[in-house]
Structure 1
């Protein structure tokens, strides 16, 4: 189940030739209301793609009606031509929706259309523009309330589609995502569209989305590289007529985002281990995240996991670079349930620890407080280096 699982939404995904594979590469998600609300979270990278620059303005105007997404080109660092391509894309969607017999034509405008792109940075010519803009009418014609084609159209190096859903008491959430490389906070490289038919306002949507992304996507730190194109969009249609308790809705949204983050981690480029770094006993949540992230970004640790080597000394060396409050000589470290380090010294023999399973759990106990956080990462492999050494070729 994907973005059309909730009521009030239609979507479509088609192939327009942006990808050399001939696979779908242009998608559209439309919110048909009747009571639209929206929230958007963008990359914190200062280098931002043209769709991000455009969508930031759209998000300030009020709840967006639709989001159009392409794979096969990031449209980033493509100058005025690239920004104009984004604007023309939004205008084409607004025009096509304005004459859509199956939708509400009363308020179609370019500044109601969010735009997302993903792919190679620094590319985007007239052919790229024509393939997108010229095929928008076909894309709108393909819109359906039972669509399952959109998730495939946003993939780049992903090997699988990524979707999640939640069913509440009379209301629903549906979601789709892409992401396999450049996975680091702010938000972790991804395009995510989340839909709900809950009757909520923009303020509730924004609070819930920021809380959900902060505890999920912002704690996915696969390779320490931050994208220029990250965008997570939440669209609410109000079509269920049900207004859930805000806390209940926020928890459901957080669970959906957490599921997507786990799927992104599992599909990370070239990875052979999915590593959950759980930090317990921190003086604050911020300290727990900082400690977990220091390990997630440590290439020596990541290489050791690739080699199935439970080198706990690299964990202590990594966390010692942080400003978190703890005594490194009181720390315990466990790998896959085996405590290898106790109070800053050796504990169980390392040969008791099996790191051959793909799923890997590292537990760091700081004994400095009562807070906890988990940061997701992956190992550093030959396949990751190979795939990214030839990405643009």
Structure 2
């Protein structure tokens, strides 16, 4: 049931022809309350799509009644016409729901730089159809409606002590921090203030979506939203809720990683014994963005020299001649030199674990990435066709 698993939420996903496949392409999620609390985090890309510009304004008061999402068009770099389309989408939803347009978030995903009267008409029609189809069972259709190049819909739920969390996500490429080419909606029936929702969401995304770095490319449309209904009447322990939210976001992030465009390996880069968490993240990200390393993993080649070369470009505190590197349980590098033979490493499974031991402190972090494949290049070379 995804986003409709918690009490107080209804959703729908409808098809209005934004996708040539005829599959659902507009989703609506509505918070029936009693609380109408919302929080959101957005791409840090300076180039932002019109829905991002709108939602950044709308979220300022911490009140969210509904969110409308479309796939099949990013509505980015479409000028004033595109922003008016987003504004009209929120107004249409507000009119039909009897709420303020300023309390409706809008999200879009798809090809950048396209949008015309036909696109606008379909989005507005989809908004109306979606609201007419709202139900407590509509979460599955909503999760399907936000898919673009995704091969599967991505959902996650958590059952707490009298309260729950539900989530849906889309994304299959251009995954980099500052979120990814992702749209994520998370709902909860726990009782939270707007300030708590914002703090918990930022803490959760920091250790989940912000550490997903599939191909080092940052999108213009990324948005992760948290809607709070308070319908359970339960105020959870703050630490317990934050941990649960991080678990749901982490699960969704791993599902995004597993569906990355054209990938044949899912790589978890564990950096341990760093001087600080920031150093651990910097080191992990340097490897995640190194095309030579990613190409080696695609070829099932445990080329640990490329790992050391990548981390040597960072400002993190460590001695490269003391670093250990382990691949899928085999320590191939010890103190910056060869250890076990490379042929002991089996990289044929999809899951790859890389452990980098910096030996300078107690901090650690994990970055998720994928390999660089022929299929990735082909799919992204033909994305607009």
Query: Does structure 1 conserve the Cα–Cα contact (< 8 Å) formed by 2:214 and 2:257?
Result: yes
What's the counterpart of residue 336 of structure 1? 328
Query: Does structure 1 conserve the Cα–Cα contact (< 8 Å) formed by 2:39 and 2:62?
Result: no
What's the counterpart of residue 82 of structure 1? 82
Residue 113 of structure 2 is aligned to residue 127 of structure 1:
no
- Provide the rounded CA distance (Å) in 1 between the counterparts of 2:123 and 2:293: 43
SS at match of 2:2: coil
Task: Kindly report which structure 2 residues correspond to 1:218-233, keeping only aligned pairs within 5 A, or say none.
Answer: 218-233=210-225
SS at match of 1:149: helix
Query: Does structure 1 conserve the Cα–Cα contact (< 8 Å) formed by 2:28 and 2:127?
Result: no
Query: Does structure 2 conserve the Cα–Cα contact (< 8 Å) formed by 1:61 and 1:111?
Result: no
What's the TM-score once normalised by structure 2's chain length? 0.99
Query: Does structure 2 conserve the Cα–Cα contact (< 8 Å) formed by 1:96 and 1:136?
Result: no
- Provide the rounded CA distance (Å) in 2 between the counterparts of 1:181 and 1:328: 32
Residue 47 of structure 2 is aligned to residue 14 of structure 1:
no
- Provide the rounded CA distance (Å) in 2 between the counterparts of 1:227 and 1:167: 32
- Provide the rounded CA distance (Å) in 2 between the counterparts of 1:146 and 1:50: 30
Give the alignment partner of residue 259 of structure 2, picking from 261, 267, 270.
Answer: 267
SS at match of 2:70: strand
Give the alignment partner of residue 175 of structure 2, picking from 180, 183, 194.
Answer: 183
The Cα shift of 1:212 comes to 0.3
Query: Does structure 1 conserve the Cα–Cα contact (< 8 Å) formed by 2:15 and 2:126?
Result: no
The Cα shift of 1:161 comes to 0.5
The Cα shift of 1:137 comes to 2.2
Give the alignment partner of residue 234 of structure 2, picking from 238, 242, 252.
Answer: 242
What's the counterpart of residue 317 of structure 2? 325
Task: Kindly report which structure 2 residues correspond to 1:142-221, keeping only aligned pairs within 5 A, or say none.
Answer: 142-147=133-138, 148-221=140-213
What's the counterpart of residue 72 of structure 1? 72
Task: Kindly report which structure 2 residues correspond to 1:275-314, keeping only aligned pairs within 5 A, or say none.
Answer: 275-314=267-306
- Provide the rounded CA distance (Å) in 2 between the counterparts of 1:17 and 1:214: 35
- Provide the rounded CA distance (Å) in 2 between the counterparts of 1:4 and 1:356: 38
- Provide the rounded CA distance (Å) in 1 between the counterparts of 2:104 and 2:238: 26
- Provide the rounded CA distance (Å) in 1 between the counterparts of 2:125 and 2:151: 28
Query: Does structure 1 conserve the Cα–Cα contact (< 8 Å) formed by 2:15 and 2:26?
Result: yes
SS at match of 2:219: coil
Give the alignment partner of residue 359 of structure 1, picking from 351, 374, 380.
Answer: 351
What's the counterpart of residue 111 of structure 1? 102
SS at match of 2:157: strand
- Provide the rounded CA distance (Å) in 2 between the counterparts of 1:132 and 1:392: 20
The Cα shift of 1:136 comes to 2.4
Backbone CA RMSD of aligned residues: 0.6
The Cα shift of 1:295 comes to 0.2
Query: Does structure 1 conserve the Cα–Cα contact (< 8 Å) formed by 2:170 and 2:184?
Result: yes
Structure 1 residues without counterparts, runs of 5 or longer: 99-107
- Provide the rounded CA distance (Å) in 1 between the counterparts of 2:213 and 2:369: 5
Query: Does structure 2 conserve the Cα–Cα contact (< 8 Å) formed by 1:72 and 1:120?
Result: yes
What's the counterpart of residue 101 of structure 1? none
- Provide the rounded CA distance (Å) in 2 between the counterparts of 1:302 and 1:173: 34
Q: In the TM superposition, what whole-angstrom CA distance separates every residue of 1:288-340 from its partner, at most 9, and x where no partner exists?
A: 00000000000000000000000000000000000000000000001000000
- Provide the rounded CA distance (Å) in 2 between the counterparts of 1:146 and 1:15: 17
- Provide the rounded CA distance (Å) in 1 between the counterparts of 2:130 and 2:168: 18
Structure 2 residues without counterparts, runs of 5 or longer: none
Residue 26 of structure 2 is aligned to residue 26 of structure 1:
yes
What's the counterpart of residue 381 of structure 2? 389
SS at match of 1:134: helix
The Cα shift of 1:283 comes to 0.2
The Cα shift of 1:197 comes to 0.1
Q: In the TM superposition, what whole-angstrom CA distance separates every residue of 1:51-77 from its partner, at most 9, and x where no partner exists?
A: 000001101133110000000000000
SS at match of 2:4: coil
SS at match of 1:330: coil
